[in-house]
Structure 1
Amino acid sequence: MAIEWRANQPRWVQIATVIKQRIDQGLYAVDEQVPSEHQIVQEFGVARGTARKVLVRLREEGVVYAVRGLGNFVTNQATDDQR
């Protein structure tokens, strides 16, 4: 999914959707690390604050969990939702 700069959805919502789709497709397995803020900035060309919003959104939805100093990882719930 490409990020549409003039879309009705904010960029951070679009990027969160892309990461959730990657989890659904099995690109990120349970307990596997998802892209960091820096990696999101690099891949999608967005500001760090936008990347932070993506990760906060994914944590709020229970898709990922944070480990201080290590990053964000896929939860069991994320893969359970696929079934």
Structure 2
Amino acid sequence: MQHVERVLNADFATYVTCDDPNNILGAQIAFLVSRFDILLESISAASNSGQFAREHLFSRPYRGRDHQLPLYYQKNMNAFTFRS
């Protein structure tokens, strides 16, 4: 959850452009919903529970000791990846 929070608060501006400052909250909520979807799919894939169907493309459900999630969308790959 801390990783999702960090992505939303620190990295949001590098991935989403918002022309109107009045629309930032709506854009952040949409961004957060998509990242929670990745969170649920990653947890389900890592535990082989099959509770959540995998709808997004990512190479593996987590990385490293802290189980970093693939929360960074790469448009050219059409996939979620890990921060490099």
- TM > 0.5: no
Shorter chain as denominator, the TM-score bin is under 0.3
Mark the structure with the bigger radius of gyration: 2
TM-score where L is the length of structure 1: 0.27
